[in-house]
Chains A and B, each alone.
Chain A
Amino acid sequence: MNIYINGQSMQLTSTDNLTVALQSFLSTEQQQLSYAVALNGDFIGKNQYGSTLLSTGDSIDILFPIQGG
């Protein structure tokens, strides 16, 4: 199935959950960093990654800290 992570198209199997998607997208180094996730515009807490199943067309946002005013 096709999903989108940070706007990029990605292919996953239909049984994959959010943890799998994140591991596929992020580098090993990035997986150790601070980040937070939203699925289709809704916040998903870290403790929910494994239990969140994905569907075709889902859109995932992975956000990291940056400077801001």
Chain B
Amino acid sequence: MSLSIYGQQLDSRLLIGSALYPSPEIMKKAILASRSQVITLSLKRQNPQENSGQKIWQYIQDIVKQTSGFLLPNTAGCKSAKEAVTLAQMSREIFQTDWIKLEVIGDDYNLQPDPIELLNATEQLLALGFKVLPYCTDDLVICQRLYDLGCQVIMPWASPIGTGKGLMNPYNLETIRLRLPNATLILDAGIGKPSDACMAMEMGYDGVLLNSAVALADNPVVMAQAFAKALEAGELGYVAGIMQQRQTAHPSTPTLDTPFWHQQYS
């Protein structure tokens, strides 16, 4: 069972970020432990006096080589379609990939995506040949519009970035799965616990993208392993077919030949 991102088959359904780890060494160990083959990263200004990003970039390149993995640059920090399109083009030149995790933020408080600018940027980037992975809210209609524009992958949030609050609106997420059966759905942002990722997979999501939940754990390497197992469990659960919930209790043990203590004496 593999994840397909714009035709690229991947063994792992976990996409993982490269930020916020206690050290580059722990980042590398955690990403390898997660078995993820897709690593997100970004671009920023750097002045002549500093080279802080270079060490991380070296580590990320090592991980990609070791895992036969793929880079997924993001447009974090962009607040307009124009900014996002420019940053995506810069990322494509540096990272030599058409994949772009498209983020266009509309509110500084909860870092909620701006749906209008997101659609605008998506349309432009698809026209420029990008394979767009848009980060969006759990609004069904926005997801539908992104899919209609040509996004094969849609990435609704579980909850705001970095909150670890898990799946705020399971109903919305289930509805998106139901209404977009052919889209590759990846739950992105707000994941806190392995059980959150498991729940998404049980809903039939195709994958999960996370960062803080692993990077900010007391032990990121062990947490990365936990997430790998959680995704696997959730996926197997979905494939196996989860039983329907019932309103009333049903005994699990057969009632035929119930022992003597249930006998009615007249």
Contact = CB atoms under 8 A, between A and B. Distances in A.
Contact count band on A = 20 to 34
Contacts of A27: 48
Interface in B152-185: 161-162
A35 B89 CA distance: 12
B17 A68 contact: yes
A1 interface: no
Interface string B4-28: 0000000000000111110000010
B145 interface: no
Interface stretch (B38-46, B195-203, B222-230, B234-242): B38-46
A68 B40 contact: yes
A26 B54 CA distance: 14
Nearest to B42: A68
Interface in A1-52: 6-8, 25-27, 29-30, 33-38, 41-43, 45-46
Nearest to A40: B86
27 contacts: A27-B48, A33-B51, A33-B54, A35-B46, A36-B43, A36-B90, A45-B93, A46-B93, A61-B45, A62-B46, A63-B44, A64-B45, A65-B53, A65-B56, A65-B94, A66-B41, A66-B56, A66-B57, A67-B27, A67-B42, A67-B60, A68-B17, A68-B41, A68-B74, A69-B17, A69-B161, A69-B212
- Which 10 pairs, one residue from A and one from B, show the smallest C-beta to C-beta distance? A68-B42, A69-B17, A69-B211, A36-B90, A43-B89, A63-B43, A66-B53, A67-B18, A67-B19, A65-B57
